[in-house]
Structure 1
Amino acid sequence: MPESKKVVIKVDINDNDEKRKALKAVSGLSGIDSLAMDMKDKKMTIVGDVDPVDVIGKLKNWHADVLSVGHAKEENKEPEKKDI
Structure 2
Amino acid sequence: MKLSDEIMKLMILNVNLHDEKAKQKAMKVVSSIKGIESIAMEMKEKKMTVVGDFDAVKVVITLRKICHTDIVSLGPTNNKKDEGSNEKGKKDGDDKNNKDDDSIAELVKLYKTYNPHMTMYYNVHSLEDNPNACIIL
**Which structure 2 segments of 5+ residues have no match?**
85-137
Does the Cα contact within 8 Å between 1:52 and 1:66 map onto a contact in 2?
A: no
**Residue equivalent to 2:59:** 55
More strand by share: 1
For these two proteins, the number of residue pairs brought into alignment is 78
Instruction: Give the ranges of 4+ consecutive aligned residues of structure 1 lying more than 3 Å apart after TM superposition.
Output: none
Does the Cα contact within 8 Å between 1:11 and 1:63 map onto a contact in 2?
A: yes
**Which structure 1 segments of 5+ residues have no match?**
80-84
**Residue equivalent to 2:71:** 66
| SS of match in other structure, 2:71 | strand
- Of structures 1 and 2, the larger Rg is shown by 2
Identify the structure with bigger relative contact order (alpha carbons < 8 Å, sequence gap 6+): 1
Correspondent of 2:40 among 28, 36, 45: 36
Residues 4-36 of structure 1, C-alpha deviations (whole Å, 9 max, x = no match) = 000000010011110000000100001011111
Superposition TM-score, scaled by structure 2 size: 0.53
Counting aligned pairs with the same residue, the percent is: 41
**Residue equivalent to 2:9:** 5
Once superposed, what is the RMSD of the aligned Cα atoms?
A: 1.8
Partner amino acid for 2:75? G
